[in-house]
Structures are given as C-alpha cells and as structure tokens.
C-alpha cells in the first residue's frame, strides 16, 4: 500500500490499481481529497503494472459531495474540474465503486469514471438544490446525457437520493455488487474491462439522450408549470432547469460554461448562503454542550400517550412508524374510538397514495392500542401527555403519573407554552419531566421542541433528542419561558399584525407581504384555515375585537365559507367588504385615523420584533444558539428556508438597521418594542448573531452559568 497523501492510498492488486479515499465523516471533496484523487490516478497511470483503476472509499459512504465547509474560502489543491478531466481522460479504465451515498460532487466524480459499480444499499443523487445550488462539477451536463431531460429535471430539482437498483435501471450505475463485497466486485469489473478491452466510456460524449429532447421546449415549460407552487421563491430550481436546457440545446463545453456561470450566481447569493447555513444549523442543533453524546440513553420500548385527539393520535403514529408500541389513554370510549379510527384513516390515506403498503397499515395500527385506564401506563418507558392547555388538568395528570408510572419512566408533556417547572412540581421525580412539543399535524411536521425544565436530567434530555431523530423529527432544545422559542417569537408577529390592521392595513395586505416574503400563508389566512373560533366562547363574547364580531356573525373561517376573507365553493379567498367595514368601524370607535401603510413598513413591523424577541431568548439562555431559533422557525412555522430564519435574516439586513427600527418603534409606540440588551450589545461591538457564542446549555433556575457573547 502506498500513501498518496493523508487521506488517499494506492494499492496494486494484480493488474488493478485500487485508489482508496478515507476522509471522515463523509469523504467530502476537500482540497486534500481532490489532491489525493489527482495524484493517485496520475500515479496509477504512470505505473506500467496497472491496467485499470478502481476508486473506492473507506467509512460510511462514497464521496458525499463537495466539502461545503470550504465554500467561500480560498481553494487549495487542484480544482474539481481538473481532477475530473484527468479521470475522464485517463488512458486506463477507471471504475467508481459506490457504497453509502454518492451525492453532488461525489456523483459528479463518479460520472467521470468510465464505469460505476454499486452495492444495492447505495444511493446516488444531485442534492445541490437543497443547498440553494446546482451541480457545479459537470453534473448538470452529464446527468441528462444518461437519464434524459425529464428524469434529470426531477432528480436535480428535488435532490432525491436514487437507490442503486433504480440507478442501474436508469443507466447511472453499470453493475450491482453483492452487499459487503464491493471491493471484490469492482476489482473483478475492472479486470473484465481489461480482459474484454471495454471502451473508455465518457459520459460527455454520449449525446443520444439529449438529442432526443432537443426541439421540445414543452418538456421544460410543463415542468415549470407543474412545480410552480413548490418552487415559489426559490432560485435554485429554476437555475437547475436552465442548465438542463443548456445540456439539451448546446454542445457539452458550452453547456459547462452555462453551468459555471449559473453556479457562481447561486453560490454568491444570499439564498444559498441561507440554505447552506441551514444544513449545518440543523446538525448543530443536535449538539448540547452540557449533555455529551456519551450520556446514558434510557431504552424506550413502549410509549404511552394521554389524549386521543388530533395531537395525541399524530404523536402516536410517529412511534408506531418505527415499530415502537404505543398505548393511548382517553377518558371516554367514544373519544378513544374516534382517535384510533382517525389514525387508521390517516394510514390508509398514505397507503392509497403508495406511501406504505396495506400490510404496513395493519402492522402500525396493531402497534397502537387504547385504554380508558391510566394504569395502562404502568409499564411504559415514556409518557407524552397531549390534553388541553390547562394547568389544572396537566397537574392532575402528572400527579397520577407520579403514582402509576414505573421508576425512571420519562414523563413528557406536549404543552406549547405552559410552565413545565410547575407541572413537574407535582411529582416526586422532576428529573424525569420534560417538554416534548410536537407541531400539528404531529405525524407530518418535522419540528420537535424539546423543553428542558429546571430539574430535567441529562439522561432524559439525551434520550429525547436521540428518540426524536429515530422518529424522523428535527429536535431543538429550549428552556422554560412563556411560549418557549417558537410561540414566544410568534407572539410579537401576531400582535403587530393585529395592530397594523387597527392602523389602516387590511388583513390581505399583511398576508400578501408575508406570503411574498416566503411564508406559506399570512396570519389572517392562517386564522381562517384553523378556525377563528378556536378559544372563542360564544356566551362570553362581547364584540370587543374584530375576531369576536366575525365569530358572532358566524364568519368563523374557511369551514363556514367566510372569516377575515370571503371564500367561494372551492375555498378560494377574496378580500371581504364585510371585514373591511368591521375594521373601519373599530378604527373609528378607537378615535384613530387610518393611514396608508406601505409593504416595507408592514414587513419591518412584523419581522423586526420577532428578531428582537429571538435576541431576548438568547440572552436569557432559553435557546443555546441563534441557529437553533432559526431551525425552530423553519421547521415549525414555515419561515422560508432561503431566508435562513429570523436570526440569520437579522444578520443579513444588518443588526444596526434592526436596532434603529426597534428604537424608532419604541419611541412611537412604547416599551413593548424595547430593544433587547443583546441586540444593543452586538451592534455596539459590530457583531451579528453569527458571532454569538453558544450558551453552555439551557439556562434554568438551577443553572445560571450561561456564557454570553
């Protein structure tokens, strides 16, 4: 074995040179890896004993892409294009041996080998779009030459990871190896290349697939139309599409020039910066400074849920989906039956769309049982209470759980904002109590806000974080404060939306501005969707707010055909003259003069107080880092990924601007707009949230040793 460099080895086995990369964790194409491939192939080509070359990786995966951490910095070593040209023009056959994932630049390198062999568990794809990018190493020109424009459009705009078997059918892979025998299979394939004198296949030279798509612009137009909703606001999907158009219509080298130009446009823009930030933010959120990875994990083999409503049922499905049995406890048989029937219906709907098989529906339903007795929770390892948001009810439940549950069972509450310390105080085991705030619909929404209470043990935190990953959630740890991270930041936005209406902006103006910013919908459309009467009690309503009046008129949202908006029979919303009149009457009654409010002011009034609230959460130590807040808002509240999150966006517009606006709002409208001390401090120091040093864990009453910026 010859070390080419610290991450690359070349061994010669018979007549085959085996070039092995070993650059954990994912063999990303760092400068050293590029150099290693370049030098390794050069050495193999120079060795007369070598007749063919295998490129293979150690560790969990083949090359998972360019090294994202290097983006934006000075590039060291040979460029990726140089490495690829060298591989592709190698006079000896090069065979890429793929296990794990060949993604992005990884697949682009493999496409410059003359042949590809993969194990059945391997996956390949060009997921750059999810980083706000396009494949910038020839992938946009080579992929369509193998799979045609339509498939390339689908793969590159979704970033999907294609399983090896499908990749074989598409011609992306030439042969499947037996699982665990990749090295042998790739060497055997390389030997065959030599003995059969197989041609040196260069994907770039194969024009037949793209030629067939030439002169058919409808392929692209139809694709754009069909996906317009999904791509709204994002640049990268359209930039990928343009590259595939270039692959179809231009010679290879000209297509590559288009790819380079468009890649650089994305790379230097704020959308990709936000999406790359999000990639790392999501992973960083899993790291809790004062809860090391080595912390014990409590085995969770059975889960109990209290409440068979929408929330409880959705939560139960998450566990059944990964094979963990669940018992749901309800007070009334009817509610239990309804809850279990809804779960079945949800699974059947997924099956009817091909998401799972009929057999899986039965398996999962069989894992979820119901009971009317709290005693059914005696043997569970984790309970999640998902009943009404009333402290008295929650305390009553936790008092009973304390008696019924076995020692060491995790006692979780799905509260979206109540004081978990108070809930824990009724038990003799506050160390086992934790907040597990799922978002509705809980079987779909990715976010899980995990709330560390005053006495929650590290083992319970670590177990909850790891379990979240197992059930496919993105977990973020937060501290106890009203509304935790997500709802606490939602508060100022809702307040501003209501206030703006009383100053003269119409609900549809506010909704439009936030929709155009990238949210799936604005707050008023959201209220109409959810139902204006959530939490509204007819008997107590005194027509004191716009909502009261709307509800009293039976305008309770989409379900009644009218709310803030009027709806037609297809639920298409139209601005409502009725709502406008109600608003006008309220403004007159308040003695204010309505004014014209511009879109920019609406945006600043809705967004900047959210950023300010995020800063308060950080300075109080209720979130560990700014990026954790952004992950909450992206995954739980529809913050557009291409704008990073409220804290990233604050840095993007510049904290001095945010501070100046908050000061202006405070002077005009009072101390509800008082700038956070951390915002002032960062501005004074010329820093941003990106410079905020992570807190050493969540600050609780018992732990106040927070490290601040």
- Site for ligand 3H9, rule CB under 6 A: 25-26, 28, 61, 64-69, 80, 101, 103-105, 108, 127-128, 131, 133, 135-137, 139, 280, 283
| Minimum distance, C-beta of residue 159 to ligand 3H9, in the bound complex (Å) | 7
Sole residue written with tokens 């139209």: 574
Residue 377: name the closest of 403, 351, 396 by CA.
403
Q: Give ∠ CA 538-544-547 in degrees, rounded to 5.
A: 65
A 10 A CB-CB count for 61 gives 21
* Beta bridge partners of residue 303, listed in sequence order: 326, 382
Beta pairing class for 573-575 and 382-385: unpaired
List, as one string, the DSSP characters of 357-404.
Answer: -HHHHHHHHHHEEEES-GGGGTT-SEEEE---S-HHHHHHHHHHHHHH
The H helix count followed by the E strand count for the chain is: 27, 20
- Residues 385, 435: contact at Cβ < 8 Å? no
A 10 A CB-CB count for 22 gives 15
Residue 367: name the closest of 414, 333, 331, 317 by CA.
317
- Residues 538, 557: contact at Cβ < 8 Å? no
Q: Which is nearer to ligand 3H9, 81 or 681 (CB)?
A: 81
| Minimum distance, C-beta of residue 6 to ligand 3H9, in the bound complex (Å) | 17
| Minimum distance, C-beta of residue 384 to ligand 3H9, in the bound complex (Å) | 25
Distance (Å, rounded) from C-alpha 171 to C-alpha 173?
A: 5
Sole residue written with tokens 């809702």: 494
Instruction: Write the CB contacts of 218 (distance below 8 Å, at least 6 apart in sequence).
Output: none
| Minimum distance, C-beta of residue 231 to ligand 3H9, in the bound complex (Å) | 18
Q: Which is nearer to ligand 3H9, 131 or 450 (CB)?
A: 131
Q: Which is nearer to ligand 3H9, 26 or 246 (CB)?
A: 26
| 171: its two tokens | 């011609």
Distance (Å, rounded) from C-alpha 606 to C-alpha 403?
A: 46
List, as one string, the DSSP characters of 30-72.
Answer: -HHHHHHHHHHHHHHHH-TT--EEEEEE-TT-S--SB-GGGTT
| Minimum distance, C-beta of residue 28 to ligand 3H9, in the bound complex (Å) | 4
| 275: its two tokens | 């999406």
Q: Is 394 helix (H, G, I), strand (E, B) or coil?
A: helix
Report the half-sphere exposure of 84 (CA within 13 A, side-chain side).
Answer: 22
The conformation of residue 103, written as its DSSP 8-state character, comes to E
Q: Which is nearer to ligand 3H9, 280 or 388 (CB)?
A: 280
Distance (Å, rounded) from C-alpha 29 to C-alpha 164?
A: 21
Q: Which is nearer to ligand 3H9, 128 or 385 (CB)?
A: 128
Q: Which is nearer to ligand 3H9, 64 or 626 (CB)?
A: 64
Distance (Å, rounded) from C-alpha 94 to C-alpha 250?
A: 27
Report CA-CA distances (Å) from 526 to 486, 534, 535, 621: 16, 12, 15, 30
Q: Which is nearer to ligand 3H9, 110 or 326 (CB)?
A: 110
Residue 507: which H helix or E strand, with range? Answer: helix 507-517
| 30: its two tokens | 């760092």
**85, burial (CB in 10 Å: exposed 0-12, middle 13-18, buried 19+):** middle
Distance (Å, rounded) from C-alpha 491 to C-alpha 365?
A: 37
- Residues 378, 400: contact at Cβ < 8 Å? no
Count of residues for the chain?
709
Catalytic residues: 108, 128
Q: Which is nearer to ligand 3H9, 66 or 481 (CB)?
A: 66
Report the half-sphere exposure of 442 (CA within 13 A, side-chain side).
Answer: 27
Looking at 65-125, list the stretches that DSSP marks H as alpha helix, in order from N- to C-terminal side. Answer: 80-88, 105-110
| Backbone dihedral angles phi then psi of residue 321, each to the nearest 5 degrees | -60, -30
Q: Which is nearer to ligand 3H9, 137 or 273 (CB)?
A: 137
Q: How far from chain centre, in Å, is Cα 442?
A: 15
Q: Which is nearer to ligand 3H9, 284 or 371 (CB)?
A: 284
Distance (Å, rounded) from C-alpha 522 to C-alpha 515?
A: 6
Q: Which is nearer to ligand 3H9, 130 or 457 (CB)?
A: 130
Q: Which is nearer to ligand 3H9, 203 or 424 (CB)?
A: 203
- Residues 643, 517: contact at Cβ < 8 Å? yes
């Amino acid at each position: 074995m010859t070390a080419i460099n610290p991450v690359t080895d070349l061994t010669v086995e018979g007549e085959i040179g085996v070039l092995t990369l070993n650059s954990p964790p994912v063999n990303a194409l760092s400068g050293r890896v590029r150099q290693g491939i370049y030098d390794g192939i050069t050495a193999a080509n120079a060795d007369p004993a070598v007749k063919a070359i295998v490129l293979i990786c150690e560790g969990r995966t083949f090359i998972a892409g360019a090294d994202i951490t290097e983006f934006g910095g000075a590039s060291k070593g040979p460029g990726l294009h140089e490495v690829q040209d060298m591989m592709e023009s190698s006079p000896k056959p090069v065979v890429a041996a793929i296990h794990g994932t060949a993604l992005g630049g990884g697949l682009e390198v493999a496409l410059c080998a003359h042949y590809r062999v993969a194990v059945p568990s391997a996956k390949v794809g060009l997921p750059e779009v999810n980083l706000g990018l396009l494949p910038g190493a020839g992938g946009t020109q080579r992929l369509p030459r193998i799979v045609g424009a339509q498939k390339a459009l689908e793969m590159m705009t979704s970033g999907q990871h294609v399983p090896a078997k499908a990749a074989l059918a598409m011609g992306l892979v030439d042969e499947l190896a037996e699982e665990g025998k990749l090295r042998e299979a790739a060497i055997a394939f390389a030997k065959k290349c030599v003995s059969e004198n197989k041609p040196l296949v260069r994907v770039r030279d194969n024009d037949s697939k793209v030629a067939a798509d030439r002169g058919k612009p409808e392929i692209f137009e139809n694709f754009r139309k069909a996906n317009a909703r999904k791509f709204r606001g994002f640049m990268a999907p359209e930039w990928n599409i343009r590259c595939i158009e270039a692959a179809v219509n231009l010679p290879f080298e000209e297509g590559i020039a288009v790819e380079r130009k468009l890649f650089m446009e994305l790379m230097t823009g704020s959308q990709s910066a936000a999406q790359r930030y999000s990639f790392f933010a999501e992973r960083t959120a899993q790291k809790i400074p004062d809860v090391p990875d080595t912390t014990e994990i409590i085995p969770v083999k059975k889960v109990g849920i209290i409440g068979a409503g929408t929330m409880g049922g959705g939560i139960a499905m998450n566990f059944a989906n990964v094979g963990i049995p669940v018992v749901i406890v309800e007070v009334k048989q009817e509610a239990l039956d309804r809850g279990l029937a809804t779960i079945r219906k949800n699974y059947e709907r997924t099956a009817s769309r091909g998401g799972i098989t009929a057999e899986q529906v039965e398996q999962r339903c069989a894992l979820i049982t119901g009971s009317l007795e709290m005693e059914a929770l005696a043997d569970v390892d984790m309970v999640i209470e998902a009943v009404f948001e009333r402290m008295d009810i929650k305390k009553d439940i936790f008092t009973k759980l304390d008696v019924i549950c076995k020692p060491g069972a995790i006692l979780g509450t799905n509260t979206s904002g109540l004081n978990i310390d108070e809930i824990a105080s009724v038990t003799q085991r506050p160390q086992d109590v934790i907040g597990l705030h799922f978002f509705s619909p809980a079987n779909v929404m990715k976010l899980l806000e995990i709330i560390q209470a005053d006495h929650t043990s590290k083992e319970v935190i670590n177990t909850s974080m790891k379990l979240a990953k197992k059930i496919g959630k993105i977990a973020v740890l937060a501290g106890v404060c009203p509304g935790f991270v997500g709802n606490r930041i939602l508060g100022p936005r809702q307040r501003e939306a209501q206030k703006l209406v009383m100053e003269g902006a119409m609900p549809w103006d506010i909704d439009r501005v936030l929709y155009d910013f990238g949210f799936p919908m604005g707050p008023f459309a959201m209220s109409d969707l959810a139902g204006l009467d959530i939490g509204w009690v007819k008997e107590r309503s005194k027509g004191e707010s716009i909502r009261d009046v709307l509800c009293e008129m039976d305008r309770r949202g989409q379900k009644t055909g009218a709310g803030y908006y009027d709806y037609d029979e297809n639920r298409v919303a139209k601005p409502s003259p009725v709502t406008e009149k109600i608003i006008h009457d309220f403004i007159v009654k308040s003695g204010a003069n309505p004014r014209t409010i511009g879109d920019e002011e609406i945006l600043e009034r809705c967004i900047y107080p959210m950023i300010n609230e995020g800063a308060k959460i950080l300075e109080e130590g209720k979130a560990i880092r700014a990026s954790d807040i952004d992950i909450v808002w992206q995954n739980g509240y529809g913050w557009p990924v291409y704008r990073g999150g409220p804290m990233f966006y604050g840095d993007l517009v510049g904290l001095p601007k945010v501070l100046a606006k908050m000061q202006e709002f405070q002077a005009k409208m009072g101390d509800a707009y008082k700038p956070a001390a951390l915002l002032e401090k960062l501005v004074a120091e010329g820093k941003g949230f990106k410079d905020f040093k992570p807190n050493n864990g969540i600050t609780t009453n018992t732990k106040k040793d927070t490290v601040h910026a």
